[in-house]
A and B are shown apart, each in its own frame.
Chain A
Amino acid sequence: MEPIVHVEHLTKSFTMRVKQHGLAASIAGLVRPERRTIDAVRGIDFAIEPGEVVAFIGPNGAGKSTTIKLITGILYPDAGTVRVMGMDPHRQRKALAYRIGTVFGQKSQLWFHLPPADSFRLLGTIYDLSTAETVKRIDFLTEVFEIGEFIDQPVRKLSLGQRIRCEIAGSLIHSPRVLFLDEPSIGLDVVVKQRIRDLIARINAEERVTVFLTSHDAGDIEKICRRAIVINHGSIVWDGTVKEMKYSFLNRRIVEVKMDGPATVSLPGVTVLKQRDYSMKIEVDLGVSSAERVISELLRQSSIQDITISSAPMEEVITHIYERTGRPAPPEPAEVES
């Protein structure tokens, strides 16, 4: 199958003026500003197949937004190519716009002082839908997103969760094939977050919409994305399944054991997180000590009543990725999940 989004050697840098400190320097800066080049995206490659849900992650300033803007035709690349459904986003901006939907958390496409229903109808006109088509589509989205209750209230009176639901519904008015979501769950509470995730998953399943989303939220990535692309310092440092990512990035396991008698572990690469009576929670770095070695050490001292081995939580994986300096992780074979 032809990839729906295809990015090759994509490169983009920005020139920015350096802000000077002090009055004299500020005046000098007005006349001759000092400039500095920032390489936002440095020759990245990836391809996305139709129907995929891909998480695009990386710390702030890693190049996520720039990449999305290059793919959607907002920015023009310095080098490399982007193809979305075979189109060049910058040259065929308008043609592409009919086929993609976008939700950028900070930049709303809804009119703040008007009810979403009005904005939806206007969007219908912007995307050249007939009035009948628009009405039908709004009805459908109102039902799916359960926004009927407040669709006629001005956006400024909606809660953040209600607003985001309307934003996503609005981005789907023209039945796009690809949906780009930039931080869709930022600032939402757990319940609303889960609801948004369910909706994204549903749209992906029912309308076969390819979803490309950026998020810092572990839950977003783990619960709806099968694949993740990690970008840092403008380069892609990981591209693979979310499951594999967990193992390659953080080769650690959390072992919780309940013993029959007293036991201690003092092996290299093992940290005791908690210990009470005969129970303990330890963290094992598999690159230093294998799981087998830890368990046999425990069994040498007493018998095991209960044991759980789990991989590190997703939050930790993400923190780990963000803290790294951008060197790709050495490829490691995925280990058996407990």
Chain B
Amino acid sequence: MSARKYATVFAIAARDQVVYIASFLMRNVFFVIILFVFYSLWRVIYGGAPDGVAASGATTIAGFTMVQVLWYLTFTETIELSQTRVFMPISAEVKDGTIAYSLCRPYSYVLYWISRSMGENIVKIAPMLLTGFVVATLFVGPLPGYLTALPVGLVAIVMGVLIGTTVQTIIGLLAFWFEEVSPFWWIIQKLVFVIGGMFIPLDFYPEWLANVARWSPFAFVAYWPASTWVDFSFDRAMTTIVGQFVYAVALLALAAGVFRSAVRKLHVQGG
């Protein structure tokens, strides 16, 4: 019964999202342009001084061919651009006090927002994967092993978005303690950019930094899903899925904990 409740929230949010054709177009246009910027940049970089050669004869940097780098960025940008900024409505509800009404409804507040936001995210992910497929193929050609990695890749990308969304939910709830929460979002987002390998595979980093970054939750949002798809092996796939599962559970528990202490604060202060 309860699972159906969240499934309905998910479905309604998904349908609602389809209506926003204009914002859909904007997002995909931006996506294509940013991929074009990356393509322009990496084309020049790979034309310069590569540091290795792949089995296929293509030149590599940090073990990645140019085809792999661009496809990698296609996947990380899909994860980044498809994420609804769910911390915004949550923090707005907290600030204007409407959260008090939401608390009366018969559902878990945290799960409500996560299902709702994931509904919107999925609708954004699907066309972006398609756009990314077409654009990346046109720029650098097809990704070897795309289909082999597809099943795990899809799950890993959705899981990456789920982790990001859960973190956002926690940030939204921080509005109980801070007047302005968007700086927390910027910081987390930038940690995903840097530590998570959003702009560049972590393998490009100096060894020590790459080793630390690789096991952070941020890497499981971007680096692990994207690198699994471009450089598939069952070993890597297992690491990705298990790591994502562990972090997702841990963060959901944290979100629930934050929510509980927020409610206590609400009751003490009477809203």
Q: For B21, what are the chain A residues with a Cβ–Cβ distance below 8 Å?
A: 23, 26-27, 30
Interface size on A, residues (CB 8 A): 4
Main secondary structure of the interface of B (DSSP, over half): helix
Q: For B18, what are the chain A residues with a Cβ–Cβ distance below 8 Å?
A: 23
Q: For A27, what are the chain B residues with a Cβ–Cβ distance below 8 Å?
A: 21
Docked pose: A30 CA to B22 CA in angstroms = 9
Interface size on B, residues (CB 8 A): 3
Q: For A23, what are the chain B residues with a Cβ–Cβ distance below 8 Å?
A: 18, 21
Docked pose: A27 CA to B24 CA in angstroms = 13
Docked pose: A26 CA to B88 CA in angstroms = 28
Shortest A157–chain B CB gap in Å is: 14
Shortest B114–chain A CB gap in Å is: 28
Shortest B106–chain A CB gap in Å is: 33
Docked pose: A23 CA to B17 CA in angstroms = 12
For A27, the closest partner residue in chain B by CB is B21
Residues 15-34 of B, flagged 1 when their CB comes within 8 A of A and 0 if not, give 00010011000000000000
Q: For A30, what are the chain B residues with a Cβ–Cβ distance below 8 Å?
A: 21-22
Q: Which of A1-52 contact B (CB under 8 A)?
A: 23, 26-27, 30
Q: Which of A77-135 contact B (CB under 8 A)?
A: none
Docked pose: A26 CA to B22 CA in angstroms = 10
Q: For A26, what are the chain B residues with a Cβ–Cβ distance below 8 Å?
A: 21
Q: For B22, what are the chain A residues with a Cβ–Cβ distance below 8 Å?
A: 30
Shortest B184–chain A CB gap in Å is: 21
Docked pose: A26 CA to B25 CA in angstroms = 14
Docked pose: A26 CA to B18 CA in angstroms = 12
For B22, the closest partner residue in chain A by CB is A30
Docked pose: A23 CA to B19 CA in angstroms = 8
Q: Which of B68-124 contact A (CB under 8 A)?
A: none
For A26, the closest partner residue in chain B by CB is B21
Shortest A94–chain B CB gap in Å is: 36
Docked pose: A23 CA to B21 CA in angstroms = 9
Docked pose: A27 CA to B25 CA in angstroms = 12
Shortest B248–chain A CB gap in Å is: 34
For B25, the closest partner residue in chain A by CB is A30
Shortest A163–chain B CB gap in Å is: 17
- What are 6 inter-chain pairs, A to B, with CB distance below 8 A? A23-B18, A23-B21, A26-B21, A27-B21, A30-B21, A30-B22
Q: Shortest 6 CB-CB distances between A and B: which pairs?
A: A26-B21, A27-B21, A30-B21, A23-B18, A30-B22, A23-B21
